[in-house]
Amino acid sequence: MSGYPKYKKNRTTWGINALGTVVVEVELEDGTIGIGPSIGGEPAAYIIEKHLSRFVEGQDVRNIELMWDQMWRASMNYGRKGLAIHAISAVDLAIWDAYAKFLNQPIYNLLGGKTKDRLPVYATTARPDLAKELGFVGAKIPLTYGPADGEEGLRKNVEIIRKWREIIGPDFPLSIDCYMSLTVNYTIQLARALEPYNIKWLEEMLHPDDYDGWAMLKSKISSCMLTTGEHEYTRYGFRQLLEKRCVDIIQPDITWLGGMTEARRVVMMASAYDTPVIPHGSSVFSYHMQYAFQNCPMAEYLMMSPKADKIVPLFGHLFTDEPLPANGWLDLPDKPGWGVTLNREQLQLHRPYRGKSGR
């Protein structure tokens, strides 16, 4: 989808995995350990150890709002979006996990309990036909071509969608992921060209900061829903999307936007605009929130198997017991905290920095 041929093959050539994963552990005085992951690797670890740790170490684990607010205000001068918020997210998720384990409760109970017993799940995949066979309630596929490919690329996009619609049938929900690659005019053209093929939604067509562009698209396109939010950060970014009525659905990533503390604010704010929240696939960290809030109608599963034919953990070997969907549904185990266990035996864990305390 990139306009640069050198990086057009896939997102890893662009460097989407360059920083790697960061995992935070927080330990209570009684030995209870909470865990929280995000992206950011060693740069995020540096921020956490050298800066954010001072607002957490020695604090009462119940003071989640206080710790979040202090971390956010302290890092605001160098990171209102992106890496610093990823670091805060990982710390916040670990704190929630430790607190819930201390209370011997699953996270969703701390958010207000269940609003549903099971979660319907759709698949983001290269093979919507296999997603249908596996029982998912819908599928989302990547858009292959973009504005740099001209009119020929647009025609090829339409042809690809037409073929998939013929294969999966007229009624199976099909959405399209555009990964910040289009323009306003191109998106309008694409939406019009795809009208015969019953598209459920177009996702993340524009740069995440182009709020006026999103509002324009919403005023021009009615043949399908419009969604975004995977690369949005904190309640302030989502407030822009909601107040301007930019999209039909918002899609925060719980491990990126600021953790559970900020995610629950966003979900509550969205409910005032009757806007559903379908988080970007962050597995168990999304599932607890979706169980707890009525305006979270379904979950995303990222099909990570090479041939898109098997259901495998989103986080790979990070956890020993990551819950997986089956037949298009997710049943969340009734375990304390997030309910997942860090796979210490198979991981090559590395702690590159230590905080001031050296702990």
Do the Cβ atoms of 222 and 202 come closer than 8 Å? Answer: no
Would residue 280 show up in a list of annotated catalytic residues for this protein?
Answer: yes
For residue 175, the cross-strand partners are 140
Residue with token string 């962050």: 282
Q: Which of 280, 288, 317, 350 is catalytic?
A: 280
3-state secondary structure the chain: CCCCHHHCCCHHHHCCCCCCEEEEEEECCCCCEEEEEEECHHHHHHHHHHCHHHHCCCCCCCCHHHHHHHHHHHHCCCCCCCHHHHHHHHHHHHHHHHHHHHHCCEHHHHCCCCCCCCEEEEEECCCHHHHHHCCCCCEEEECCCCHHHHHHHHHHHHHHHHHHHHHHCCCCCEEEECCCCCCHHHHHHHHHHCHHHCEEEEECCCCCCCHHHHHHHHHHCCCCEEEECCCCCHHHHHHHHHHCCCCCEECCCCCCCCHHHHHHHHHHHHHCCCCCECCCCCCHHHHHHHHHCCCCCCEEEECCCCCCCCCCCCCCCCECCCCCCECCEECCCCCCECCCCECCCCCCCCCCCCCCCCC
Determine the Cα–Cα distance for residues 219 and 90; give it in Å rounded to an integer: 37
Q: Which two tokens stand for residue 110?
A: 């701390």
What are the residue numbers of the active site?
280
